[in-house]
Amino acid sequence: MTSGKSKDRKESRSETVKMRDNAGIESDSERYFNRELSWLEFNDRILFESRDTKNPLLERLKFLSITASNLDEFYIVRVASLRDMLSVNYNEREISGLTVGEQLSRIDVKTRRSMALMYSTYSRSLLPSLRAHGIFLLDYDELDKKGKATADQYFHTTLYPILTPMAVDAARPFPLIYSRQLNLAILIEGALDRKQDSSMDDEELRFATLQIPTVVPRLFEVRLSNGIGFVPIEQIIRAHVPALFSGARVVSTGLYRVMRNADLDIDEDEAEDLLKEIEEQVRLRRWGEIIRLEVNEGIDGRLLKFITESLSIEKKDIFSLSGPIDLTFLMKLYSRLSTDYPSLCDPSHRPAQAAMFEGEENIFDQIAKKDRLVHHPYETFDPVVRFLREAAEDPNVLAIKQTLYRVSNHSPVIDALALAAENGKQVMVLVELKARFDEENNINWAKKLENAGCHVIYGMVGLKTHSKITLVVRSEETGIRRYLHLGTGNYNNITARVYTDIGLFTASEPFGIDASEFFNMLSGFSEPPEWRRFVPAPLLLKNFIVRKIDREIQNAQSGKKAIIIAKINSLVDATVIDKLYEASLSGVKIDLIVRGICCLIPGAKGLSENITVRSITGRFLEHSRIFYFFNDGKEDIYLSSADWMPRNLDRRIELLFPVEDAECRARVFEVLKVGLDDTIRSHFLQPDGSYHKLDLRGKRKLDSQKELIRLAEAAAEETRIDVPKPFEPAKAPERYEKSKQ
């Protein structure tokens, strides 16, 4: 039964969703794609990379693992949110015209189709290809005598001691089943000395459950005469279940996994201590409502009935899978095999040295001379770490201020901040505790920083702080000078190896003044009377973007060239979409590189004929946000931490900032130009919502990510290729080849 408090929280959460998803915008399926279905299309593009035999085999394994992981998170966050809305009878139509119930129904149909394709890809394409290279994913029963003996020994020496089978009966209730963890369900019949009767009644059967341990690798490695074998440990455990139930007969076993609602219910206005409140909510997450059950295909009906009744799971939420449950284990397999089979992977990538930094010269002296730009992962993350490390050790540095959203488990950024505080610097860090699935990590870092002497704040009530900014205040002969790093991505040295992001270093005085005002706003109650270079959200950013689009509209209507180019992760905000439609109708040429969700419909007659949308998928995750406006030849270019989504524009602390240095601007132009020239990695969005790849017959083949690797390496060797100007938008492709999605 739902408690009154829980019901109030569900209603509150549904109201939040109602407010955030383009509230007040009239729904229209001819103007907008549905956000959730668009996201599923994005995940299908990742799945397509797994199915594309032109990709190296182990890279295809990795893409399938990412597809599975993405889908898990989509369910425990987005589907969970829709289920909450449905539970309080909130069923208004969203911008594409679908009710909550209709969205859930379409999500279910599309997800089942995608999952069937995932498992078909796994069993019919990837497994045979792996076998051809002497790599075998096997069940226990497929092992030869020697292999079984090795697996048996592993069970008795390693697995058996850590397993905890749990019987379920009147005295022992069904245990807590953790979200996204694999379990074994077991049906047993009393004592072994009872008469074995195949016609026994269900009432004579007993149920037990066993969590598959996560403290050991999911795959057990076995040497074979013709290669190397990997056996999922759940199959080894399943083969040895009788050893866990001495004196009983095992009737059947089945594997299952549940997914729970992972949304945190945080009432920031009522919370006396935000850190303690989030710690409590993270703890309660393990009891979230079950929204999905996965079972192995052919599971005993009696086991399935017991699980669903015990956990109150409806039939519509059951997914029967024809292969290993939870394909995210393929990422670990990729890591294990990549060193032994380099020919089955993309060529190893070592980020180039940052071309705009000069050797070992003091980093502040370099930034003082001119702005510097770094492009990850094509260039190393080292300048960011060096910036902080030198600030921590420099006797002239007085203060460091930084926002942190996601950092790595062993973070050199945290180490540098702690060192700075220990060295007597004034260090202020905003640690965003509400960064989803990084809450515990960020709580731990916040405590470590506080113990080191840093001033730690947790953001502003009701808003997530998503901006990426570091301010270093330094005493110099001419007085106080401020140095900045501003970025499109997190201060995470690990994700910087695979996420494409841009960072700008500057000692520009207008930027520095804005930075001081920005941090004062975060830590206190001040709001600057004006901003010189920064455009923050939620105060100004959406209106700023609208004004920039309006200016291009006015130029187009005056017969002038008008161009808009944006590279973002997601495009959902209806106000921005409507303004882009208006621009298209006015003759503005618009090129959008949107990696993920896109609710805008491109190429629609009488609406968006001048808009082209492409999504680039590859070995790196496209994450940088770049905005370009032709501005009658003056060419404005901005970087930002924000996507064009209601959550970024209306409910987060974000920053957009201009790129002013000529060399830095040229490098950002280069990123856009290469992305728009891509013919291999680009998927083009069609008016019907599908994505197609180019028909490359007779066309130049360009992989943008490979090209950017080449350019970064060339730049490190001081052989940069100039990019032509003025900037011209790419032409909309005329011929497509349907991707097999």
Residues with catalytic annotation?
A: 466
Contacts of 239 (CB under 8 A, 6+ apart): 140, 141, 151, 155
Contacts of 533 (CB under 8 A, 6+ apart): 508, 510, 511, 514, 657, 658
Instruction: Give the whole-angstrom CA distance, residue 681 versus residue 300.
Output: 44
Contacts of 418 (CB under 8 A, 6+ apart): 448, 449, 452, 454
Instruction: Give the whole-angstrom CA distance, residue 336 versus residue 344.
Output: 12
Residue written as token pair 């997450």: 285
Instruction: Please work out, in degrees rounded to the nearest 5, the angle formed at the alpha carbon of residue 338 by the alpha carbons of 337 and 341.
Output: 80
SS3 state at 665 = helix
Question: Which string of b and e fits 274-290 if b means at least 16 CB within 10 Å?
Answer: bbebbeebbeebeebbb
Which residue pairs from 78-82 have beta carbons closer than 8 angstroms and sit at least 24 positions apart in sequence? 78/36, 78/39, 79/36, 79/104, 79/107, 79/291, 79/292, 80/260, 80/261, 80/262, 80/263, 80/288, 80/289, 80/291, 81/13, 81/17, 81/263, 82/36, 82/107
> Token pair for residue 724?
């032509």
Dihedral (CA of 29, 32, 34, 39) sign: positive
Instruction: Give the whole-angstrom CA distance, residue 345 versus residue 337.
Output: 9
Longest dimension (CA), the chain: 95
Instruction: Give the whole-angstrom CA distance, residue 702 versus residue 687.
Output: 25
Q: Are 425 and 417 in contact (CB under 8 A)?
A: no
In three state form, how does the secondary structure of 488-536 look?
CCCCCCCHHHCEEEEEEEECCHHHHHHHHHHHHHHHCCCCCCCCCCCEE
Contacts of 397 (CB under 8 A, 6+ apart): 391, 420, 425, 472, 473, 474, 475
Q: What are phi and psi of 731, to 5 degrees?
A: -75, 145
Instruction: Please work out, in degrees rounded to the nearest 5, the angle formed at the alpha carbon of residue 399 by the alpha carbons of 398 and 405.
Output: 160
Instruction: Give the whole-angstrom CA distance, residue 710 versus residue 674.
Output: 11
Count the Cβ atoms, other than its own, within 10 Å of residue 537.
Answer: 25
Instruction: Give the whole-angstrom CA distance, residue 453 versus residue 422.
Output: 7
Contacts of 538 (CB under 8 A, 6+ apart): 463, 649, 650, 651, 652, 653, 654
The H or E element that residue 402 is part of is strand 397-404
Residue type at 619 in one-letter notation: R
318-321 and 479-487 strand pairing: unpaired
Instruction: Give the whole-angstrom CA distance, residue 210 versus residue 244.
Output: 10
Instruction: Please work out, in degrees rounded to the nearest 5, the angle formed at the alpha carbon of residue 494 by the alpha carbons of 396 and 334.
Output: 165
SS3 state at 435 = coil
Dihedral (CA of 148, 153, 158, 159) sign: positive
CB-neighbour burial class of residue 128 (10 A; exposed 0-12, middle 13-18, buried 19+):
exposed
SS3 state at 123 = helix
> Token pair for residue 285?
């997450």
Separation of CA 577 from chain center: 23
Instruction: Give the whole-angstrom CA distance, residue 667 versus residue 401.
Output: 27
Instruction: Give the whole-angstrom CA distance, residue 332 versus residue 230.
Output: 12
Residue written as token pair 């601007």: 665
